[in-house]
Structures are given as structure tokens and as C-alpha cells.
């Protein structure tokens, strides 16, 4: 006996009235996207649930893994679908289902029946009672509990029969596409892929921007960021990754500005460029992997100084997280191994020995005036040479 369909459950909190179909359509689209690499499936939507049916052979593990990455899904129920719903066949299949799904049958259960096919010779309560009796005969250690059973054994009769009881947890969240688009500042580190994942989980499309500084940062460092974007896109759907050549701007800052302010000034230019790209690409907010106090450039004062150049909201979903908490998520979403590959990123090359930890915005602004002669030209050059690649799972 094999599972040949899945029932997808989703939480309905926050999806009221008119917006509900937007939520459901986005969820259907994201499920199709996630499964497009696994096999051929048909999807049907009905009464607050989605049925996914396999058209051909498929890999069960791969399918479940793919569905576990679709935001908006609260639970995935593997289903055994049967063609012959005559009573004898149904009873036999339900018994086989129980022995297939449960190694240990020491549990309490209740049979739940839905009968969409009203021509079926027995009515729902009778089917439930009779199937219950068949199961008790076949598995003497089973017990019925109609109030608080360990297992709800669901049987649905339509043109086909559907048997299911197991629930695999989904990722929760909102389907991507229900909440606009944001621009993720994606570096090669541990934090920013996690930040992108978390905002995407709330239904937000992602674009990403990476600042690289050849020859100070290598081609491999860039490839690592492309790979991180690909890993995030397994959840978020396709990402347009904008790669900005930041070398000349960084060199100019290095040559003209006080070295203890390098990182802050550099980060302010990153934010300015990211905001420009966001506007140009229809994104309404920025996302960073910053967390208060993690490094000198993320003290409260530094965050204020960095934020000062932005008009858009900047989402910092990791702001209150400890490093270990971020690492735990990155391991769970499978970005950690790639994030810790030892390729330098552009921030580590030009770091000062003693960066300011309490930058004063007015002083920083004054230091930036030292770039006046060159910055417009350098910005223009950086913005006109952006390489954009579409990254997907
Ligand atoms: P991460 O682990 O994400 O690299 P980090 O702890 O190294 O973060 P910083 O280098 O201070 O932190 O960067 C803070 C945030 O700024 C990053 O999380 C990321 O959003 C953004 N950022 C830093 N460097 C780059 C870069 N080269 N390209 C794009 N975004 C960057
Ligand atoms: Mg970094």
C-alpha cells in the first residue's frame, strides 16, 4: 500500500472574506512551484483544504520535503486513494492502511467519515461504526475514544475513496505572494539568509542584492552568495539577485574617510544602493540580517547611523536574536553549511582595528562630504554595471 495523494491543511487565521482567495491562489501557486521539481501532480481546492494527487510515480520523501517548504501550509496529510469503494474493498483498505501507517497499534481512535457520494449504500455514521468494528476485530489492542482519540482516522467517499490520519507539520506562515516584495541585503554570512527566510515566511516576495569587491573578494565568494540565494529560493520562490560591484566606492571611502568610520560609511552606501534597487524593482522595504550588538557595526548607535540614509522601512527580523538562535534556524533551513564556507566577504577586507561603536550621525555625514568630488560618478558607475541573475531551486 502506498500514499498517492496529500491533503494540505492551512491555518485560516487572518484570511477573512475577500482576501481568502488571494491567500488560496498564492498557496496553490507556491505548491505547484515546489512540486514542479518532484513530479506531476494535480491540485484541487475545496472547503478550506487543498488536495494534491500524484499523476505518475513520485518519490514520497522528496514530495513531503518540498511541501514542508511551502509557507502557509500548517499540515500535510499523506493520503491513500482507492478506486474501488465498495464496502468490502473499503474495509480491507482501511485495515491495510492502519497496519501500513502504524507500527504500533496501541492507541485510541475515532473514525471520521465524509460522504460526498450520497448514492453510497451506507450513511456516514453507519460507515464509521462498521469500520470501527472491523478495525477492533483486526487490531485487538486498538481502543475507541470518541471524545479525545489519539488518532482521527478519516475516510472520505467521493468518486474515489480517501483514507488518511497522519499529519506532518508544515512550516506555517503565509504563502509567498500575499504580502508584497522586499529587497534582501544578502551577504555570504549566516545571518542574512535567515533574515530573508523569515520575511519570506510572512508571504513576502524577495529580491536580493549582494555587494562584491573584486579583486578583494573572490569569484568563489560571489558563487557562495548565489548558492545561498538558491537555498533561500527553495522556500521563497525565484529570487532576482542583483550583484553590485562595490570596489571603487569602497576604495574611495578607504582613501578619503577616517578609518574607524569605514564600516559605517560603507554600510550607509550599501543601504542607499539597496533602496535605489528596491524602488526600481517594485520592492517596498529592505531586509538585513542585523542583530543588536552582534558586532561594532550593529550597536544601537551604529544601527541608527546606518538607518538614517533610508526612507523605506528596514526589516531586521533577527534584531533580538542571539547568534546561537540564528545558527539553529540556519541549520534547520539548510543554509548553515554554505554560510560557513571560508570565503572572505567585502566587509572583512577593509575593517578598521578599532571601529567606532558609538558613531555620531553628524560626524559621519561630515566625513562623507570628503567623497563629494567622486561619489556621484562612482555611484553612477556602480549602478550601471549591476549584474542581475534569476536564482531558483
Ligand atoms: P551576515 O552573517 O548576514 O553576513 P554579519 O553578521 O556578517 O551578517 P555585517 O557584515 O555587519 O553582519 O552585515 C550586516 C548585514 O548587512 C548583513 O546581515 C546583510 O544583510 C548586510 N550586508 C553585509 N555585507 C553585505 C554584502 N556584501 N552584500 C549585501 N549585504 C550585506
Ligand atoms: Mg557579513
Least trusted range by pLDDT, from 29-33, 81-85, 91-95, 157-161: 157-161
Distance (Å, rounded) from C-alpha 209 to C-alpha 183?
7
Give the residue-averaged pLDDT of 261-285. 97
304-358 confidence digits (pLDDT tens): 999 999 999 999 999 999 999 999 999 999 999 999 998 765 555 677 778 888 9
The answer to whether position 25 is within a domain reads yes
Any atom of ligand 1 within 6 Å of the Cβ of 142: no
Give the residue-averaged pLDDT of 43-48. 85
Q: Hey, CA dihedral for 144, 149, 150, 154, is it positive or negative? A: positive
Q: Answer with the one of 119, 137, 169 that is the final residue of a domain.
A: 169
Distance (Å, rounded) from C-alpha 161 to C-alpha 85?
6
pLDDT at 14 exceeding the cut of 60: no
Ligand nearest to the CA of 228: 1
Ligand nearest to the CA of 351: 1
Q: According to the model, what pLDDT value does residue 49 have?
A: 85
Contact 204, 317 (CB under 8 A): no
The answer to whether position 12 is within a domain reads yes
Q: According to the model, what pLDDT value does residue 342 have?
A: 86
Distance (Å, rounded) from C-alpha 359 to C-alpha 299?
9
Distance (Å, rounded) from C-alpha 54 to C-alpha 139?
30
Beta bridge partners of 153: 111
Ligand nearest to the CA of 186: 1
Any atom of ligand 1 within 6 Å of the Cβ of 186: yes
Q: Which three cell numbers stand for residue 320?
A: 533580538
Q: How far is the CA of 176 from the centre of ligand 1 (A)?
A: 24
Give the residue-averaged pLDDT of 285-298. 91
Same domain, yes or no: 111 and 215: no
Same domain, yes or no: 209 and 337: yes
pLDDT band at 245; cut points 50, 70, 90: very high
Helical residues (DSSP H) of the chain, grouped into ranges: 20-35, 60-67, 87-101, 124-138, 191-200, 219-236, 247-256, 262-280, 300-307, 323-332, 336-339, 346-349, 361-368, 372-384
Any atom of ligand 1 within 6 Å of the Cβ of 210: yes
Any atom of ligand 1 within 6 Å of the Cβ of 355: no
Q: Which three cell numbers stand for residue 387?
A: 549584474
Q: Answer with the one of 169, 190, 223 that is the final residue of a domain.
A: 169
Range of the domain at 241: 181-391
Q: How far is the CA of 195 from the centre of ligand 1 (A)?
A: 10
Q: According to the model, what pLDDT value does residue 313 have?
A: 98
117-169 confidence digits (pLDDT tens): 788 888 999 999 999 999 999 999 999 999 999 999 999 998 889 999 999 99
Same domain, yes or no: 148 and 261: no
Same domain, yes or no: 111 and 218: no
The answer to whether position 50 is within a domain reads yes
Same domain, yes or no: 215 and 151: no
Q: Which three cell numbers stand for residue 265?
A: 560609511
- Cis status, amide bond into 50, omega within 30 of 0: no
Same domain, yes or no: 140 and 210: no
Beta bridge partners of 115: 157
Percentage above 90 pLDDT, the chain: 83
Same domain, yes or no: 220 and 240: yes
Query: CATH no. for residue 128?
Result: 3.30.2130.30
Query: CATH no. for residue 235?
Result: 3.40.50.620
Same domain, yes or no: 137 and 13: yes
Q: Which three cell numbers stand for residue 153?
A: 482516522
pTM for the model stands at: 0.92
Relative orientation angle of helices 124-138 and 87-101, to the nearest 10 degrees: 50
Q: According to the model, what pLDDT value does residue 176 have?
A: 96
Any atom of ligand 1 within 6 Å of the Cβ of 38: no
Q: Is 107 exposed, middle or buried (0-12, 13-18, 19+ CB in 10 A)?
A: middle
The answer to whether position 371 is within a domain reads yes
C-alpha 227: how far from its chain's center? 15
C-alpha 56: how far from its chain's center? 27
Query: How many domains does the chain contain in total?
Result: 2
Q: Answer with the one of 110, 134, 169 that is the final residue of a domain.
A: 169
The answer to whether position 175 is within a domain reads no
> Which protein residue's CA is at the shortest distance from atom 27 of ligand 1?
211
The answer to whether position 176 is within a domain reads no
Amino acid at each position: 500500500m502506498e500514499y498517492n495523494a496529500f491533503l494540505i491543511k492551512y491555518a485560516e487565521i487572518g484570511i477573512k472574506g475577500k482576501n481568502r482567495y488571494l491567500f488560496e491562489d498564492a498557496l496553490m501557486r507556491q505548491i505547484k512551484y515546489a512540486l514542479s521539481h518532484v513530479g506531476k501532480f494535480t491540485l484541487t481546492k475545496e472547503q478550506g483544504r487543498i488536495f494534491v494527487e500524484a499523476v505518475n510515480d513520485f518519490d514520497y520523501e522528496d514530495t513531503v520535503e518540498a511541501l514542508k517548504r511551502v509557507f502557509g501550509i500548517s499540515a500535510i496529510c499523506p493520503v491513500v486513494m482507492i478506486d474501488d469503494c465498495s464496502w468490502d474493498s473499503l474495509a480491507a483498505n482501511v485495515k491495510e492502511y492502519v497496519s501500513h501507517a502504524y507500527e504500533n497499534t496501541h492507541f485510541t481512535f475515532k473514525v471520521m467519515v465524509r460522504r460526498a457520494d450520497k448514492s453510497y449504500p451506507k450513511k456516514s455514521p453507519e460507515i464509521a461504526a462498521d469500520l470501527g468494528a472491523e478495525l477492533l476485530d483486526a487490531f485487538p489492542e486498538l481502543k475507541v475514544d470518541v471524545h479525545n482519540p489519539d488518532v482521527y482516522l478519516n475516510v472520505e467517499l467521493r468518486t474515489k475513496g480517501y483514507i488518511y490520519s497522519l499529519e506532518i507539520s508544515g512550516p506555517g506562515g503565509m504563502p509567498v505572494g500575499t504580502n508584497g516584495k522586499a529587497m534582501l541585503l544578502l551577504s555570504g554570512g549566516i545571518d542574512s539568509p535567515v533574515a530573508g527566510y523569515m520575511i519570506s515566511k510572512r508571504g513576502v516576495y524577495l529580491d536580493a542584492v549582494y555587494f562584491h569587491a573584486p579583486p578583494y573578494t573572490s569569484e568563489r565568494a560571489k558563487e557562495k552568495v548565489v548558492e545561498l540565494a538558491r537555498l533561500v529560493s527553495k522556500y521563497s520562490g525565484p529570487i532576482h539577485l542583483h550583484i553590485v560591484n562595490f570596489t571603487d566606492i569602497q576604495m574611495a571611502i578607504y582613501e578619503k574617510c577616517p578609518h574607524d568610520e569605514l564600516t559605517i560609511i560603507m554600510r550607509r552606501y550599501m543601504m542607499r544602493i539597496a533602496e535605489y534597487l528596491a524602488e526600481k524593482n517594485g520592492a517596498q522595504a529592505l531586509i538585513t540580517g542585523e542583530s543588536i550588538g552582534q558586532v561594532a557595526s550593529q550597536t544601537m548607535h551604529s544601527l541608527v547611523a546606518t538607518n538614517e540614509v533610508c526612507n523605506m522601512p528596514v526589516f531586521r527580523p533577527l534584531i533580538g536574536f542571539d547568534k546561537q538562535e540564528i545558527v539553529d534556524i540556519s541549520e534547520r533551513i539548510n543554509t548553515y553549511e554554505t554560510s560557513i564556507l571560508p570565503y572572505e566577504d567585502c566587509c572583512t577586507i577593509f575593517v578598521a582595528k578599532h571601529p567606532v561603536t558609538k558613531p555620531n550621525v553628524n560626524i559621519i555625514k561630515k566625513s562623507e562630504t570628503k567623497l563629494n568630488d567622486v561619489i556621484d560618478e562612482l555611484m553612477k558607475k556602480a549602478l550601471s554595471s549591476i549584474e542581475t541573475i534569476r536564482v531558483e531551486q
